[in-house]
Structure 1
Amino acid sequence: MQTPEEVEPSTVPESLTSGRSRQKPACEECRRRKLRCDGQQPQCGVCKETGVVCEVNPVRAPRGPKRGYLKNLRNRVSMLESRFAAQSQNLGTNEAGLNSGDVLASPLAPIPNSIQGGNVDAVQDMFSMMDPAVSESEMTLTSPLLDLETLHNLNLIPEPPPTPSTTCLTASSIPICDFTQAELNQLYFDRVHPSIPILHQRRYHSWSKLHTKSAARLSLQYAMWTLASLLSGQFQHLQEGFYQEARQMLESSNPTNSVQGSALEIELAQAWVLIATYESMRTHHQHAWMSAGRAFRLVQLMKLHEIDSPTNPSSGADHDSVTTEEKRRVFWMAYFIDHLFSMKNNSPIRLNEHVICTRLPAQESDFQNGQSTVMDFLSDAIVDQNPTTRSPFNECIVLATICGRTLSHNQQYNIRCLHGDGEADWSDWDTWFDNILSARLQILSKCYPSPTTGYDPMLLFAHVIAQASVIYLCKEIKSMVWPNGKARSLRTEYQQRALNAAEHIVKLAYALVEFSVFKVHPLMPIPIFLCVEFLFANRQLPRAATLLRQLLDALSQLKSVINPKQNYVMLLDLTHIFPLLNTMDNQTAGAAMSQ
C-alpha cells in the first residue's frame, strides 16, 4: 500500500477536487470557533447572529498536514503504545490503561517534537484533510491508552494561544462577544437598575473591562446578564445559560471559616440579590426564598447593618464614598426583599429593624455622581412627615417596615394566645399605625409626581405598597380578638379602608397596562397578590366581588415578561377564581329570579 508521502496529487479524484474548489472560503470567525461557515456575503449566519465583523482571507495558505506529518505521528503513537504496555507489565498492574498523571511521571526518553510551534489549524484538521489515498479506517486509533488529552500533555499537539477574557466569554457554550456584553450591560441599567438600584454605573463599567476579574465580580456580571436577558426580546434564549453560570459560581464562592466578614466582596451579596429577584420573577418561589436567605446572611456577615454605627466608626470610614453607598444600597435592598417575602409567606423577618445602624440610601443622582450625602436613619425617617430628600426607594423601605411591624405584632399576638393572653392591646399601636400610614400616603401624593405619568417603576411600586399596607393591616386586625364593643366597629372600619385601598390598586393595575412590560417592577406580583387574596377572601361582599373582577380584568391585559403569551392571571395562577365568580353570579341570578 502506498504511504501518504508516495501519493501524487494527480491521484486525487476529480470529483473531490472539483467539490473542494466549489466550496466557499470560511470566514476567520468560523475558522477560529471551528464551525461550518455558510459563506454568505457580506456576513455569514454565525457572524450575523453573534454581531461580529465577518472577514474572509482569500489568500489563506492551504490547510492540512505537510508530507511526513502523518507517518511521523503514527510512529510516535506506536512507540508510546509499546512503552505504555511495557510499563504496565513491569508494574504488574491489571488496570486497562494509565491516566495522564502516570504518563507524565514515567521516565520516558524525550521525544523530538517536529511539529512544536506549528500551525494549530493544520494539526487539528489533520484527519479531516488527509490525503484520499489513505483510508479513514487505517488512521483510526484503536488503543484505549491514548486520548487527545494525553497528546496535549505530551506536547504532540500545541495549545492554542490564550484569548483575553474581554474578547469573548461563553456561558453554556454560547459565545458572548464584546458587542453583546455591552448591549446586555446597557439593558441592565435601562430596565433592571431603576427597580434594583444597587450598582454604581461608572464603577461597574470600569472594572468590567478588566482582563482578570474575581469570582465574585464574574458571578455578579452573569447575574446582571441573567436579568437583562430576561427583560429583553432578543436575548431571552441566553438567560438560562447565564443563570446556571451565575449560580454555579456563587455556590463555589461560599465563604470559608477562615474568611472574615470584612474580607468578603460586596459583589457576592449583590449577585445573590439579583438571583433571588430573577427566581421570584420566574415564580421559582422556594429557590428565590433560599437565594434571598444567602443574601441576608452575607449582609449580616459583612456587618452592613452597622455601617454608620457610632460605636464602630471604622466600619463606615470607607475613603471611597461610592463603595460605602453601594454597601448601604445592597443592604437595604436585601432588607426590602426580606420584608416582602415575609409578608407573602407569613414568615418571621430576618433583618430586624431595631438593630440597624445604617443610614438610608442617598438619592440616585447623588449616588451616580459620587456625591456624599448624609441621610436619615430608618427610625427618624418613619416619623418625619416633611422629608427634605425625596426618594421612591426610601419610601418603599419605610412602607415595607410598617408592614413588617404589623406582621411581627401579629406573630407576637399569636404567641400570647398560646399563654392565655388572647386579648389584643390596641392602645399600644392603634394611633401609631393610623398616623404613620396616613402620613406616608400624604407624602406620596404631595411630594411626588403622579405614578401614572412619570413611568417610574419604583414610584409606582411605592404607591402599590402603600395601599397594600392598609390591606395587610386590615388582614391582621380581623385575625385578632378585641375587647368587648371594639371588635365590630374596628373590623368594619378597617374593612372599608382596605376596600378603598384595593380600589386604588385596581386603578394602578390598569395604569400598569399602559407601561412597557419591561418597566414593571420585578416584585410587583407580591403586593398585587396580597390584594387579590384579600378581595377573594371577602368575595361575599358585593363591592369586593366587583373589585376582584376589575382587578382580574386588568391583570389579564398585563403581559408577563417571562412569556408574552401569558398574562398576570396565569403568572399568579389565578385562573381558578373565574369559575368561582361565575358560580356566584349564577347563584345571585337564581336567587333574584326566585323572588
Structure 2
Amino acid sequence: MSSGCSDLLYFERVHPFAPMVHKRRYYAWASDPNASPARTALRSAMRTIASAMSPQFCDIGHVMYASTRRMLETQDACPETGLPWMTRLKPPHEQRKMHHERIQAWLLLAYYDVLRKSEHQAFITARRAFRLLRLSGLCEMDIDAYSGRQGDVATCTPPAETTWNMQMCSSENGADEAVLQQDWISVEERRRTVWSAFLLDRLSTMVNDQPTMLMEEAFYTRLPMSETEFQSGTQEPVSQMGFLIEATDGNKAANSIQPLPPFAHCVVVANLFARCMTHCKMAMQSPPMSAPEAHDFWIRHQWLASAAANACETTETRCDPMLVFTRILAYSASLSLCSTANATSWQTLDHHLMAMACKPAAHQAASEVVRIIKTAPRIAFFKMHPFFPNAIALVTSFLNADVPYLPSTRGGHAVDTIQERQDALNELLAALRRSSQVNNLAAELLCKLELDIGQAASDGSVSQFDQGDGSWT
C-alpha cells in the first residue's frame, strides 16, 4: 500500500473516531525525510492503523505495527522522560520538550491493538500513552482559564492559553518558532490529543469492567472545537469551548458551549457512560443495600438516567460516524442503568417497583439502537469507533437476557414482542458481522453472542438460531 493511499485511508476511516491531526499541517510535513522522530513515529502509526481499517491491507499492518512500536519504545528510552516508573519529568534544564505527536502515535497503536490484537495488549499500550500525557502537562494546559471561569465566565480570556503554548510548543524550524508558539491550531491539536486519550480511557470501561486510569478532576483543558473550524485553519478561532465539568454536570456556564460539536459531545457521553459503570460497581459491592445506601443509589441513578436521556436527544446525522456512535453509546448507558437497577437486591417494595419502572426507557433505547443500525449506510461500519462492537454487544445481551416488555397504550416503538426482539437481534448480529471484517473484537463478540443466544434458545425459547445464515427463525 502506497503512502498516499495510506494517508487517504487514514483521514477517511480513522480520523472520524480519532480527530486529533490537522490534515493540511500533516500533509505539509508528511513527505519530509528529515521529520523529527516524534513525527516520523506518528506518520508510521497513522499508516499502520489505516492498514487495519481496510480488509485488503490488513495483512501488512503487522509488520508496520512492529516497526512503529520499536520507534516509540526507542524514543521512550531517551533520558527526557526518565525511567518507566517515574511520574514526574526531569527539571526543565535537563529535559527536551515533550512532543504531542508521540502521545498521538501511542494512542493510534492502542486502537490498532483493539482492532487487530487483544484487549489486554491495548490496555498495555494505552498506559504508555497515558503516562506520557501526565508527564507532558497537557491535561492542565488551560488551567488559568479554568480558574478564571469559576468566579465569572466573562473573566476567562485567551492569553492564558497563549502563555502555556509559549512554554510547551516546539518547532521543527528555529526561524518559525515565534510563529508556531502563538499558533492556535497547534494548541487545538494538543487539546484533541488530550481528549482522544480521555475518550480511549473512558471507553475502556466497556471491556471486562476495566477501571479508568485518568481522573476527570485532573483535566483542565478546554473541550475540542468543531471539526470544520479546526480544519479550516483561519487566522483566529471563532468559538471558545468550555470545560468538561460544565458540560457534564450541567452548570450554568455550560449554556455557553451548547450545542457541543460531535467530538466534544462524544467525550461528554463517554464520561457519562463511565460514571454509569462506576454506579453499577458501587451498587454491586455490598447487596442488599441498607436504607441510606438505597437512598444514595436512587439519587445517583435518577441523575444519570436524566443525563443519559438528554444525551439521546441530540440531532442525529447519518453521515457522521462520531455522532452515530455517540448516540448509540448514550442509549447503551440507559440500558446499563436498567440492568444495574434490576440486578440489585432491594429490601422494600417501593425500591423494587422503581427498578421495574426503568424497563420502558431501556427497551425504548434498545429499539432506537436497532433503528439506527438499520438506517446506517454499510460503509459507515468501516468508519465506526473501534469500541462500537462493545456498545452493540451490550444491547444484544440486554435483549437476549430480558423478557419481552409489554408496553402501555402510550408505548410507541419499544421492542415489545418476541418476534420483534428476534428481528432486533438479527440486525445487531448483522452489524457485528459487518464490523468483524476490520475489527477482531467484533468477531470475538459475535462468536460469544451467537453461543449465548443459541444457549438461550436451547433452554426453552420458542426461537431457533440458524447457524447457517446467522439469523433467527
Q: With structure 1 as the length reference, what TM-score do the two structures score?
A: 0.61
Quickly say closer, same or farther: Cα 1:564–1:556, change in 2 above 3 A.
farther
8 Å contact kept, 1:339–1:400: yes
8 Å contact kept, 2:263–2:322: yes
8 Å contact kept, 2:106–2:125: yes
Match of 2:240 among 359, 367, 374: 374
Shift of 1:198: 0.7
Structure 1 window deviating more from structure 2 (251-260 vs 411-420): it is 411-420
8 Å contact kept, 2:436–2:442: no
8 Å contact kept, 2:111–2:386: yes
8 Å contact kept, 2:42–2:105: yes
How much identity, in percent, do the aligned residues show?
28
Quickly say closer, same or farther: Cα 1:350–1:495, change in 2 above 3 A.
same
Match of 2:14 among 192, 202, 214: 192
Quickly say closer, same or farther: Cα 1:215–1:498, change in 2 above 3 A.
same
The aligned counterpart of 1:557 is: 430
- After superposition, the C-alpha distances for 1:508-563 in whole angstroms (9 at most, x for unaligned) are 22234644442333321121122122223325879586565334312443444564
Compare the two structures and name the one with the higher helix fraction.
2
Question: Aligned with 2:333: secondary structure?
Answer: helix
- 1:454-469 maps to which residues of 2 (within 5 A)? 454-469=318-333
Q: 2:37 matched to 1:215? A: yes
Question: Aligned with 1:486: secondary structure?
Answer: helix
The aligned counterpart of 1:282 is: 116
Shift of 1:568: 5.1
| One-letter identity of the residue aligned with 1:366 | E
Quickly say closer, same or farther: Cα 1:413–1:568, change in 2 above 3 A.
closer
Quickly say closer, same or farther: Cα 1:347–1:484, change in 2 above 3 A.
same
User: Matches of 2:298 and 2:425 in 1, distance apart?
Assistant: 37
Match of 2:303 among 427, 432, 435: 432
| One-letter identity of the residue aligned with 1:188 | Y
User: Matches of 1:378 and 1:473 in 2, distance apart?
Assistant: 22
Question: Aligned with 2:76: secondary structure?
Answer: coil
- After superposition, the C-alpha distances for 1:567-592 in whole angstroms (9 at most, x for unaligned) are 95665322213422432456689xxx
Quickly say closer, same or farther: Cα 1:545–1:257, change in 2 above 3 A.
farther
| One-letter identity of the residue aligned with 1:510 | K
Structure 1 spans left out of the alignment, 5+ residues: 1-175, 590-595
Match of 2:99 among 265, 268, 289: 265
User: Matches of 1:307 and 1:545 in 2, distance apart?
Assistant: 53
8 Å contact kept, 2:389–2:441: no
Quickly say closer, same or farther: Cα 1:534–1:283, change in 2 above 3 A.
farther
- 1:129-144 maps to which residues of 2 (within 5 A)? none
8 Å contact kept, 1:185–1:225: yes
Quickly say closer, same or farther: Cα 1:247–1:427, change in 2 above 3 A.
same
Quickly say closer, same or farther: Cα 1:402–1:355, change in 2 above 3 A.
same
- After superposition, the C-alpha distances for 1:288-319 in whole angstroms (9 at most, x for unaligned) are 12112222222111122111001786435552
Match of 1:206 among 13, 28, 41: 28
Shift of 1:336: 1.0
8 Å contact kept, 1:423–1:481: no
| One-letter identity of the residue aligned with 1:407 | M
| One-letter identity of the residue aligned with 1:353 | E
Structure 1 window deviating more from structure 2 (384-393 vs 415-424): it is 415-424
- After superposition, the C-alpha distances for 1:56-76 in whole angstroms (9 at most, x for unaligned) are xxxxxxxxxxxxxxxxxxxxx
User: Matches of 1:498 and 1:286 in 2, distance apart?
Assistant: 30
User: Matches of 1:560 and 1:585 in 2, distance apart?
Assistant: 29
Q: 2:265 matched to 1:399? A: no
Quickly say closer, same or farther: Cα 1:418–1:353, change in 2 above 3 A.
farther
User: Matches of 2:51 and 2:442 in 1, distance apart?
Assistant: 20
Shift of 1:491: 1.3
Shift of 1:408: 2.6
Matched residues, number: 404
8 Å contact kept, 1:422–1:481: no
Match of 1:342 among 202, 205, 212: 205
Shift of 1:339: 1.0
User: Matches of 1:565 and 1:193 in 2, distance apart?
Assistant: 16
Shift of 1:199: 0.3
Q: 2:89 matched to 1:240? A: no
8 Å contact kept, 1:188–1:224: yes
Structure 2 spans left out of the alignment, 5+ residues: 82-88, 91-95, 148-159, 167-180, 407-415, 465-473
The aligned counterpart of 1:326 is: 189
Structure 1 window deviating more from structure 2 (431-440 vs 492-501): it is 431-440
User: Matches of 1:387 and 1:369 in 2, distance apart?
Assistant: 20
Question: Aligned with 1:264: secondary structure?
Answer: coil
Quickly say closer, same or farther: Cα 1:519–1:244, change in 2 above 3 A.
same
8 Å contact kept, 2:370–2:427: yes
Match of 1:520 among 384, 387, 396: 384
| One-letter identity of the residue aligned with 2:446 | L
The aligned counterpart of 2:172 is: none
User: Matches of 1:406 and 1:265 in 2, distance apart?
Assistant: 34
8 Å contact kept, 1:184–1:229: yes
The aligned counterpart of 1:65 is: none
The aligned counterpart of 2:471 is: none
Match of 2:164 among 300, 311, 315: 315
Quickly say closer, same or farther: Cα 1:435–1:387, change in 2 above 3 A.
farther
Shift of 1:224: 0.8
User: Matches of 2:275 and 2:438 in 1, distance apart?
Assistant: 37
8 Å contact kept, 1:220–1:267: yes
The aligned counterpart of 1:181 is: 3
Quickly say closer, same or farther: Cα 1:565–1:465, change in 2 above 3 A.
closer
